[in-house]
């Protein structure tokens, strides 16, 4: 049940159930299913109708919205997206997250920080979640291209949306939703001034994409290249922790 407390001492209960379909995707699934049934039952084109019906089930699955158990440690930064970690690099945050936007709230400071890039395939859950709790200070949408989200230049060239969240202690964390080769729209659920709990849903990207997280200065990732992460559950960093972590691909 959403909102229930679970912990590592056995408190709470959990069980598998079919994940909900986000309202944003229900219309697409219903249109696909209705079209498939028309082709199958009215036109009698079974060779085309059955694959279309299977594809319509895939559309519903794309917009699935499972519940997540969100770790609540104060220093934890969690993954904003399901997918594979495809990049960890020291970079300057986007200017849109740094410059004075006239709101009276500071952006991210200048200087290189660790960026963690998470690639979402069309088979991943595409509901994105905030990596930290706090107040939304910026939501900046930028139109752009639709090259493969796996490419590093997608961070600067693709359609994208920057979000800046400020914690109660003043620490600011920025992340960017990036549309990919197939994705054609970023759908926001939040706006400046909204107060978010860690792991709360903030938006979705349709049909394949990427999310970049800009960690605070002095903080390294605790995930590695090639690792699969789960939005709202996987810890990707601990504020102030700087360790060299190594893994073996096997």
Bridge pairing between strands 113-120 and 83-91:
antiparallel
CA–CA distances in Å: residue 238 to residues 18, 76, 148, 189, 211 = 32, 5, 30, 26, 19
Give the residue among 134, 116, 122 at the shortest CA–CA distance from 80.
116
Is 209 considered catalytic here? Answer: yes
- Active-site hit among 36, 117, 155, 209: 209
Other C-beta atoms closer than 10 Å to the C-beta of 100 total 9
Tokens of 211: 């999310």
Contact 139, 161 (CB under 8 A): yes
Q: What DSSP letter does each residue of 123-175 carry, written as one string?
A: TS--EEE-SS-EEEEEEEEE--B---TTSTTHHHHB-EEEEEEE-TTS-EEEE
* Contacts of residue 151, Cβ cutoff 8 Å, sequence gap at least 6: none
Residues known to be catalytic: 209
């Amino acid at each position: 049940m959403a909102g229930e407390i679970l912990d590592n001492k056995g408190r709470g209960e959990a069980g598998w159930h079919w994940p909900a379909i986000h309202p944003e995707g229900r219309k697409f699934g219903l249109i696909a299913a209705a079209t498939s049934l028309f082709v199958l039952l009215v036109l009698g084109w079974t060779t085309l109708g059955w694959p279309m019906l299977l594809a319509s089930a895939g559309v519903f699955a794309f917009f699935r919205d499972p519940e997540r158990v969100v770790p609540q440690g104060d220093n934890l930064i969690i993954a904003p997206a399901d997918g594979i970690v495809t990049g960890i690099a020291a970079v300057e945050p986007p200017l849109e997250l740094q410059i004075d936007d006239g709101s009276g709230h500071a952006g991210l400071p200048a200087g290189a920080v660790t960026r963690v890039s998470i690639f979402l395939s069309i088979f991943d859950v595409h509901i994105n979640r905030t990596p930290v709790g706090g107040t939304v200070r910026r939501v900046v949408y930028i139109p752009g291209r639709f090259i493969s989200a796996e490419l590093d230049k997608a961070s600067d060239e693709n359609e994208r949306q920057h979000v800046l969240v400020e914690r109660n202690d003043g620490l600011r964390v920025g992340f960017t939703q990036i549309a990919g080769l197939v994705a054609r729209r970023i759908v926001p659920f939040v706006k400046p001034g909204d107060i978010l709990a860690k792991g709360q849903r903030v938006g979705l990207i349709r049909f394949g994409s990427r999310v970049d997280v800009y960690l605070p200065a002095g903080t390294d990732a605790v995930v590695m290249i090639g690792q699969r992460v789960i939005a709202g559950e996987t810890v990707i960093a601990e504020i102030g922790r700087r360790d060299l972590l190594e893994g073996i691909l096997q």
